[in-house]
Structure 1
């Protein structure tokens, strides 16, 4: 089985590639720069197509030719979620590809329209494809991606001071899935007998409250380093900051306030789901929070 991973150089694309290799599959990459891949992935690729821009249809046509399945892990910006992904699925149609895993790894973005600017794009893409394409994509709900929270979002985790910031109760749990587990779940989904039927998949690695984070961090570091909590206010405070950000920046300035979408809507349970499909994929060993911290000593 030959799998195309579009956006392979991203922090979800790379784990998907490693999982595909572990499953014994061939992998072709599509992205802007092959040099952004680690050597263990780059050296094993069947091929690589370079995108000159998010709208490089010729590269997409070359990349989709002869593949059996596509994993789209384009970057989390509106142009890529909507424009590039739609161009890619049209290329997949021309190539006769039936299995397409869409960019989707978040909370349940089918819920609460208007609550999150990028979730609205995801929902809009899914609707448009449902009414216009012969392909039925797979969409996966994973909650928060652990690597994003603890490696890429200083608003949530300060790696220097080991401080986790939040709104609301320190006992309220958030659903998380690690990028490695996402890669394994995705490969299970695209190799399942009914993969071409598409649909929604709901999984997670673990649930953790801010207090759980402090305990797990201390355990993973064997007490040598202690994490701290920083409560930024109530859930209502987060809602007020979100509304103020929208009023000040408009939809085009979504990146200035999008963090408050999560800080408000996760504890408000606006997008919550049950990870019912974990049982469908018993081959995926769920990573625990403590394991995640142990595997990422730089966090």
Structure 2
């Protein structure tokens, strides 16, 4: 039976990866910052390991000794994505770990070069650490999470104004995978030894922005005015403008993801859903309905949902 350590095990994605690994019969070590009283800790195949990537490789090694696969679902800046994961990788090397899935879980990060997306660059820098490592890297790419893509940071939906914004012509399919489906795929990939030293692309659904607009109107039961904000060149210019005035990368990084999605450089290649037939992705419309998308929008701006 495979033993997997999951870093970031209490996050929205990490906790579901743990759940799916346990359902598949794996032994799971969940790296947590503090002891948990969660009932899931009572699972016979689950061990809670109290620690943090900032503790360094020496402290982390005891958690990875005897582990075959490490899955990282951590989030943060360079101190986490580069420095923290590098410490985890060093510990994994000394512990004889066979494979590691770093915290990529995004668009095709390697479809475009450096300087396009500040957060992609962090993950690309960490990926270079595997070039001389004894641990094989398995990167999981899933496209965009609808939970975030339809949130305020991406500026696609504006419930107050009742608008749905599009850059470009909106006709290129983009890759969208829910957090629960990403966790299900990741658990299957973690237990698949054939994924060593591979980029594994899986997807929930591929929709154009115009199709996504129509599905959101159907699910929400209201009209969203389609706003065309400009060409992709206009989008690139807007990113540059914000970079000069921003106090945080949060003010422009979502647009950096969008330009790579909309011009196709971030599109998933060689999608491998067929390798995991027991994972059945949920269509975006179905997921939004189950996610109570209409009610969430009503909470933000009730007058538009009267």
TM-score interval (norm. to shorter): 0.7 to 0.9
- Is the alpha carbon distance of 1:160 and 1:72 closer, same or farther for their aligned partners in structure 2, counting shifts above 3 Å? farther
Alignment of 1:116-195 (within 5 A): 116-130=117-131, 132-151=132-151, 153=153, 155-158=155-158, 163-195=163-195
Q: CA deviation at 1:152?
A: 6.6
Q: Which residue of 1 aligns with 2:74?
A: 74
Q: Distance in 2 between matches of 1:63 and 1:159?
A: 45
- Is the alpha carbon distance of 1:24 and 1:265 closer, same or farther for their aligned partners in structure 2, counting shifts above 3 Å? same
Q: CA deviation at 1:174?
A: 1.7
Matched length: 291
CA contact (8 A) 2:175 2:268 kept: no
RMSD: 2.6
User: 1:24 aligned to 2:19?
Assistant: no
Q: Distance in 1 between matches of 2:64 and 2:158?
A: 40
- Is the alpha carbon distance of 1:17 and 1:169 closer, same or farther for their aligned partners in structure 2, counting shifts above 3 Å? same
Q: Distance in 2 between matches of 1:159 and 1:76?
A: 28
Stretches of structure 1 lacking an aligned partner (at least 5 in a row): none
User: 1:243 aligned to 2:240?
Assistant: yes
Q: CA deviation at 1:227?
A: 4.3
- Is the alpha carbon distance of 1:158 and 1:23 closer, same or farther for their aligned partners in structure 2, counting shifts above 3 Å? farther
- Is the alpha carbon distance of 1:234 and 1:6 closer, same or farther for their aligned partners in structure 2, counting shifts above 3 Å? same
User: 1:276 aligned to 2:305?
Assistant: no
Q: Distance in 1 between matches of 2:154 and 2:41?
A: 29
Stretches of structure 2 lacking an aligned partner (at least 5 in a row): 297-306
CA contact (8 A) 1:168 1:231 kept: yes
User: 1:254 aligned to 2:255?
Assistant: no
CA contact (8 A) 2:93 2:134 kept: yes
Choose the corresponding residue for 1:291, options 286, 291, 298: 286
Q: Distance in 2 between matches of 1:42 and 1:166?
A: 44
Deviations 1:138-174 (A, max 9, x none): 0011111222223573623446666543322243332
Q: Which residue of 2 aligns with 1:212?
A: 211
Deviations 1:232-273 (A, max 9, x none): 333222100111233445xx9433321221232221222223
Q: CA deviation at 1:126?
A: 1.4
